[in-house]
């Protein structure tokens, strides 16, 4: 009981300016209560309406949760994209800083020549395989001709 008296004394003391706001809050709550209680009574008397309302609430909450998950996935995708972009730029800058412009040009020339050599090798293998396939096809056609 002493605690209640202390709180009343505190509310009536220097902080009495907050009392009108508390009255407004209580009146707003009672107004909302006067609208909500009849609505809840009506829904509880008609179970079909209550079921539809419950399903609608469940759908809305599910959509909200789905939207939150979608936003989370978007956040992580953007974060990964930014990390890869800025990490790649930092790696490129570090490579250019450590090797210098001439070293970078030499590295690019080396990789270009290596990849171009591999490309020519695979192109030649493909050409040889195509010729062998055509020769084998011509041999089969002659064997079937007789």
User: Domain boundaries in the chain?
Assistant: 101-145
Tell whether pTM > 0.85: no
Stretch 11-35: mean pLDDT = 71
For residue 44, give every residue at least 6 positions away whose Cβ sits within 8 Å of its Cβ, in sequence order, or none: 50
CA within 13 Å, CB half, 73: 6
Residues 140 and 146: their CA atoms lie apart, in Å, by 11
- Tell which residue, 51, 54, 74, has the closest CA to residue 62: 54
- Quote the tokens at residue 43: 């829904």
Stretch 58-81: mean pLDDT = 96
């Amino acid at each position: 009981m002493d605690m209640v008296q202390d709180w009343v004394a505190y509310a009536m003391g220097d902080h009495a300016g907050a009392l009108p706001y508390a009255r407004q809050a209580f009146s707003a709550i009672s107004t909302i209560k006067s609208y909500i209680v009849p609505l809840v009574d009506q829904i509880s008397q008609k179970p079909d309406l209550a079921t539809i309302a419950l399903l609608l609430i469940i759908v809305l909450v599910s959509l909200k949760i789905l939207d939150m998950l979608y936003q989370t996935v978007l956040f992580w995708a953007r974060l990964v994209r930014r990390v890869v972009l800025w990490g790649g730029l930092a790696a490129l800058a570090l490579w250019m800083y450590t090797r210098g412009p001439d070293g970078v040009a030499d590295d690019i020339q080396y990789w270009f020549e290596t990849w171009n050599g591999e490309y020519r090798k695979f192109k030649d293998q493909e050409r040889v395989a195509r010729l062998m396939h055509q020769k084998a096809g011509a041999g089969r056609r002659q064997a079937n001709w007789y």
